[in-house]
Chains A and B, each alone.
Chain A
């Protein structure tokens, strides 16, 4: 019976004969594929074509301000991407930003997830409070940090310093003093809930009876954490870290809003935006785009593999 249902097409072929003909099975295959095709074709057209075009343009001399000089450039754009100090700076900023945000929010997210995994009064409310930063529109969040918190004259941080230390309190200019950290902190605030949510789901999928048994057997909290919780969480840590990395690598909103890429905080997405939108250097922007994709590919491969493992386990 199972083979029968499996062989029947999505469109009911009314009383399929016991031995289905090849032609019929083929028709069934197509009926099965049909519902998938619109989505598949749409996604291929919308994602693969633009990137293929970017790849082509990355090998071209193409600056909208000098339309006559358009032509094949070979690897010039790439050479410029790797030798230009601004681009190299953008690469470094992207790496520092991504690694710092992901690592800090991952550790914070893990600690908070372990806290929220326990039963306590008002757990639902605390969980909701924790999620809130993630639900503020990114631009709005960046504006909030820039103007309402960091602002040296009337931001909350300096306001609190005045409240605590009086009129002679130090009034640092948070963004100017540490521009990259200003962005990192704002991003960590927004991404910690993301890490926390996935890790909490991981913690709650842990078989509790085994943990309980280990505890009765006299295993210490640290031992349980080290040898049971952490191995179980590994996949979830990898998943949240990699997904977070994929989003943070692409971050544009915070860099654009908080510093506008100034003070040495332009990351690659902002740099590409600037090169193409302001400088109109299409060739170089595309080459930088290709570099971002290659970089992301490394993270993405690892992310895909992790998702794949979890996916396989769950659909078993």
Chain B
């Protein structure tokens, strides 16, 4: 469209530029755009296809789910979900919920003041402290697992949810501090000065002045911590058993004991992933900041 409307003295030049722009793929080029849209959709669908297949399979009967070639349009059935919920997944789901929620709360309680000390009126050498926190995140968990196991065995903490809560808290604390630090650094100085003039103490300042301003940051840090705790398998697998086993542990055990019931496996995987999917979609734009530990905004 634009190419045809160009007339006048500089038309040659402009037309050349326009043609050139169209060739190099400027977003506005209509045909280019259609191709681009198509390509992007194909790639997106390709990546989401396994999940869609999981959803579809989870709603098929076991016989339809296990058919080759696949019965795409087989009647929907809740068989998979019925057998999953019949297998007693509630205690593990509740354990996961407890471990994730309580550790997330603990993380925020520890990280929020720490982030304050690292951003607003920072302590000396605050960057060093920040990098110390980050470096602990890079220590492979497996390298500290044995002493933790032996310690827990000694103090009868194996297979308790408290052990997991404490470990998940230490696992996520560095991420939360990094995220919150970058949020707190953006709190306007005038607000804090005003609070100081009014004689507000540290806890009051944190609770009534800063917390409301950085609420979105707190929320996304909480979601990221929740996701990481909910996903964790290795620690839970080694340190818990029948009592405090979490949903991921249940998933692995459940599949081996039940054999291969595809619809059931898909239903189970989906149900366990549901909280993370919800949290992730809700925090989509903040996901990057959390995943890069606040390094990228």
Contact = CB atoms under 8 A, between A and B. Distances in A.
Interface in B278-294: 280-281, 284, 287-288, 291-293
Nearest to A152: B68
A137 B269 CA distance: 8
Interface of B: 17, 20-21, 24-27, 33, 36-37, 39-41, 43-45, 47-48, 50-51, 53-54, 57, 65-70, 110-111, 113-114, 116-118, 121-124, 127, 129-151, 166-167, 169-170, 173-174, 177, 182, 185, 189, 193, 196, 199-202, 205, 227, 230-231, 233-234, 237-238, 247-248, 251-252, 255, 260, 262, 265-266, 268-270, 272-273, 276-277, 280-281, 284, 287-288, 291-293, 295-297
Interface string A38-69: 11101100111111011001000000000000
Given A47-B170, A246-B138, A151 B260 contact: yes
B117 A32 contact: yes
Interface of A: 5-6, 8, 10-12, 14, 29, 31-36, 38-40, 42-43, 46-51, 53-54, 57, 112, 115-116, 118-123, 125-141, 143-145, 147-149, 151, 153-154, 156, 158-160, 162-163, 189, 192-194, 197-198, 200-202, 205, 215-216, 218, 220-221, 236, 239-240, 243, 246, 249-250, 252-253, 256-257, 268-269, 272-273, 276-277, 282, 285-286, 289-290, 292-293, 296-297, 299-300, 303-304, 307-308, 310-311, 314-315
A296 to B, nearest CB: 5
Nearest to A308: B131
Contacts, number: 342
Contact of A8 (B185, B196, B260, B281): B196
A154 B138 contact: no
B234 A293 contact: no
Contacts of B27: 118-120
Majority-rule SS of B interface residues: helix
Nearest to B137: A246
A239 B296 contact: yes
Contacts of A38: 110, 113-114
Contact of A257 (B39, B136, B140, B252): B252
Given A138-B231, A140-B251, A307-B295, A36 B70 contact: no
Contacts of B150: 53, 282
Point out which of B68, B123, B129, B280 has the most chain A C-beta atoms below 10 A from its C-beta: B68
